């Protein structure tokens, strides 16, 4: 599908979804210091051809302007003439779309996701078991256990992006970058938001549980 085949309505829907989620996450303080980026895919998906709207790089994501987003292709290149630069981390979005065919990807930096990614960084995954919010990932077994991958936070984004396909577990819709933040995705913006919120709940729970255990081991 060419970008020119995507309708105005499809583009506007994606931009509206991004706007709503950006406003909500900003109200939660999830974009400190211009960090974070968001994207929503538009049109059909083929592994070698897809398009998505992504936040422009370096913007204050708690402020809303007509220059907050642009459309890029599967290689992260702008689809239209623009002076905006796509998020510096667009290549990571490209790899997640390519591997999963998902419809939206949200990335935030929080204290909880940073601390947990650093705590478990060496072992390369965050273990989580028996937490009710695991069901938000559509995993319904009792006492389910998951591993959330943690990748190194290289300065060069292409070096991180190339690790994504190998690290990604399709049943766990998220990847942490060590001491950096989480990428969560879903079939659409609604699902990506649910997944991101579940991950953040799990990180806060795990962090507080570790503190509690250190103070007095849980029985």
Residue numbers of the site for ligand MRU (CB under 6 A)?
A: 33-37, 55, 57-58, 87-89, 107
Identify which of 174, 198, 176 has the alpha carbon closest to the alpha carbon of residue 184: 174
Min separation Cβ 210 and Zn ion, Å: 24
196 phi and psi, to 5 degrees? -60, -45
Q: Measured between alpha carbons, how far is residue 193 from residues 49, 53, 157, 160, 188 in Å?
A: 24, 16, 24, 23, 9
Min separation Cβ 149 and Zn ion, Å: 16
Identify which of 135, 157, 161 has the alpha carbon closest to the alpha carbon of residue 146: 135
In degrees, rounded to 5, the angle at the alpha carbon of residue 125 between the alpha carbons of residues 39 and 26 is: 35
- Of 61 and 98, nearer to ligand MRU (C-beta) is 61
- Of 43 and 173, nearer to Zn ion (C-beta) is 173
From the list Zn ion, ligand MRU, none, which binds 127 (C-beta under 5 to 8 Å, kind-based)? none
Please report, to the nearest 10 degrees, the dihedral formed by the alpha carbons of residues 147, 153, 154, 159 taken in order. 40
Q: Which residue is nearest to ligand MRU (CB)?
A: 87
Min separation Cβ 51 and ligand MRU, Å: 18
Interface residue list for Zn ion (CB under 5 A): 181
From the list Zn ion, ligand MRU, none, which binds 33 (C-beta under 5 to 8 Å, kind-based)? ligand MRU
Question: Is 107 annotated in some ligand binding site?
Answer: yes
Q: Report residue 28 as tokens.
A: 């939660």
Min separation Cβ 90 and ligand MRU, Å: 8
- Of 53 and 134, nearer to Zn ion (C-beta) is 53
């Amino acid at each position: 599908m060419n970008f020119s085949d995507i309708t105005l309505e499809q583009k506007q829907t994606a931009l509206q979804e991004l706007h709503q989620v950006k406003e909500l996450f900003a109200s939660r303080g999830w974009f400190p210091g211009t960090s974070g980026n968001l994207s929503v895919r538009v049109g059909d998906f083929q592994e070698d051809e897809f398009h998505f709207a992504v936040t422009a790089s370096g913007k204050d994501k708690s402020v809303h302007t007509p220059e907050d987003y642009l459309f890029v292709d599967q290689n992260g290149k702008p689809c239209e003439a623009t002076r905006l630069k796509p998020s510096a981390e667009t290549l990571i979005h490209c790899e997640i779309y390519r591997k999963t065919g998902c419809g939206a990807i949200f990335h935030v930096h929080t204290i909880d996701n940073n601390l947990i990614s650093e705590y478990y960084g060496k072992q390369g995954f965050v273990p989580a078991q028996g937490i009710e919010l695991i069901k938000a990932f559509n995993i319904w077994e009792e006492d389910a256990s998951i591993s959330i991958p943690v990748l190194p936070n290289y300065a060069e984004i292409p070096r991180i992006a190339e690790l994504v396909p190998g690290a990604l577990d399709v049943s766990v819709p998220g990847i942490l970058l060590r001491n950096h933040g989480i990428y969560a995705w879903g079939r659409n913006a609604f699902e990506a938001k649910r997944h991101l919120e579940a991950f953040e709940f799990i990180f806060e729970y795990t962090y507080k549980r570790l503190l509690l255990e250190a103070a007095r081991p849980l029985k």
